[in-house]
Chain A
Amino acid sequence: MQSIIDALGLAFALVFSADADLLEIVLLSLRVSLTAAAVACVIGLPIGALVAIGRFRGRNAVLIVMNALMGLPPVVVGLLVYLHLSRSGPLGFLGLLYTPTAMIIAQTILIAPIVAALSRQVLEDLHAEYAEQFRSLCLTRIQTVRALIWDARYSLLTVGLAGFGRAVAEVGAVIIVGGNIDHMTRVMTTAIALETSRGDLALALALGIILLVISLGVNAAVQSVRMTAARQAYV
């Protein structure tokens, strides 16, 4: 018990002294997961919009696949990306394995389906409300999609935040494709896993505290976006 309390004391000391190693790990985590979330939005949002508004053959199949991909286990994504990027894999020549780029790719694959599925739901609900009015106004498909995305902007922002939250907290994918290499690919979650097993509880706890604060921050941001939207009757 005493050792845990000591570790906690050390952990807070690390956090408040802005320890250089700690900072490096946190910043890499943020860089990887923010980039992955941004790329996932660029890919997932148009797919979500297409499925929400489009009426094409195979739409139901796309829907099922999209929803199934939402629950992809991170370690499986990590494994698949590893197989592609490893030296003998089809993309091995790129030399990306054990780099931050590999981690970004893995996390993008992990959360793009989430962004697509959630934004599909948001846009389809809004379209159900607007469709008749838009047809009366003779809007084109493009005008319709643009108006829906703009009017759903607050909801879509929370979708992006949810994607980031999932990415920054996952460990299974980044540990496989990143390898948790010190000063290279060590992020918060992989560092916590390693330091805990090595018995350096202070560093693990320090990172845990920061990760928790980030998670709380994301949730607070989602909440405040919702409240802003509600206040302006943009919901």
Chain B
Amino acid sequence: MSDVLSMTGAPAKEPAHRPAQRGAPPPLEVRDLVLRFGEAAVLDGLSLTLGPRGCTMIMGPNGAGKSLLLKLLHGLLPPTSGRIDWGGHTAPAMTARQALVFQKPVLLRRSVAANIDFVLKARRKDPARRDGLLAHVGLAHKAGQPARLLSGGEAQRLALARALATDPDVLLLDEPTASLDPASVLAIEGIVAQARDRGVRIIFVTHDVGQARRMADDVVFLHRGRVSAHSPAHDFFPEPACDAARAYLDGRIVV
């Protein structure tokens, strides 16, 4: 409990906890990560090493712990045990250099435009970027509308625009196209690909196998609280490295 409190309160004193400076995305090293809720271990000794560039797709059945892993990497949640190291920085020290698009976006009770204005102002970014960001995700025509009246797909686009507004070095995406129509899926993938080409590190959770094929540089497959497969995309799809991943790609139920 005290861990939870210290994360929401004042920054801790250790040097490693000081917010990391902006710049090139660091590599990620996760060791023996355990996350328990009571008796149940959602993550059970997960280890993972990622390089500093590219787009990593995270896949795995419902309840595998993908969303929780993103929150741990983002520093929003303290693990029960284990270590997350972003090039020498802890996860909480990296929060400001990352943006997380949540699976269920939380939008402010304001207009679409004001949702972006809010983030630009809070993070001291150029306020003139708002219209460009909205146009970028195809929401320019909705600028004056209350954000809470957006459709599911529009809300996800606004959440992506808000994430991009913070100029993240690392972009964590939790099923950002889950309720988009096919054309919008491709549009969003284009935006994410552009960000990757600018050097933003992408970590992307999806259930969409086609999307994973289109976007992935490498694929991480979560199963039973661990990484059961991690390989470059050109190896993963033809020859999944574990039975669970093979079953998942074949559309069989994975338990």
Say if the beta carbon of B22 comes within 8 Å of chain A. Answer: no
Please tell me which one of the listed residues B71, B109, B119 contacts residue A137 in the complex, with CB atoms under 8 A apart.
B119
Residues of chain A lying within 8 A (CB to CB) of residue B118: 147
B9 touches A55 (CB 8 A): yes
Please tell me which one of the listed residues A135, A138, A139, A151 contacts residue B110 in the complex, with CB atoms under 8 A apart.
A151
Say if the beta carbon of A143 comes within 8 Å of chain B. Answer: yes
Closest-by-CB residue of B relative to A151 is B109
Residues of chain B lying within 8 A (CB to CB) of residue A136: 74, 76, 95, 99-100, 102
A138 touches B109 (CB 8 A): no
Which label, helix, strand, loop or mixed, suits the secondary structure of the A interface? helix
A217 to B74, CA, bound (A): 49
A136 to B168, CA, bound (A): 11
A130 to B122, CA, bound (A): 15
A150 to B111, CA, bound (A): 13
B108 touches A151 (CB 8 A): yes
Say if the beta carbon of A19 comes within 8 Å of chain B. Answer: no
Number of B residues whose C-beta is below 8 Å from A?
24
Interface locus among A5-13, A63-71, A115-123, A227-235: A227-235
Interface residues as binary, A117-148 with B (CB distance below 8 Å gives 1, 0 otherwise):
00000000000011111011111000100010
Closest-by-CB residue of B relative to A235 is B109
A133 to B102, CA, bound (A): 8
Given contacts A135-B95, A233-B149, list 11 more A-B pairs with CB under 8 A.
A55-B9, A133-B102, A133-B106, A136-B74, A136-B76, A136-B95, A137-B123, A138-B123, A233-B109, A233-B147, A235-B109
B149 touches A132 (CB 8 A): no
Cross-chain pairs A/B with CB under 8 angstroms, 25 sampled: A55-B5, A55-B8, A55-B9, A129-B106, A130-B108, A132-B76, A133-B106, A135-B8, A135-B76, A135-B95, A136-B76, A136-B95, A137-B119, A137-B166, A138-B95, A138-B96, A138-B123, A139-B122, A147-B118, A151-B110, A233-B109, A233-B146, A233-B149, A234-B110, A234-B148
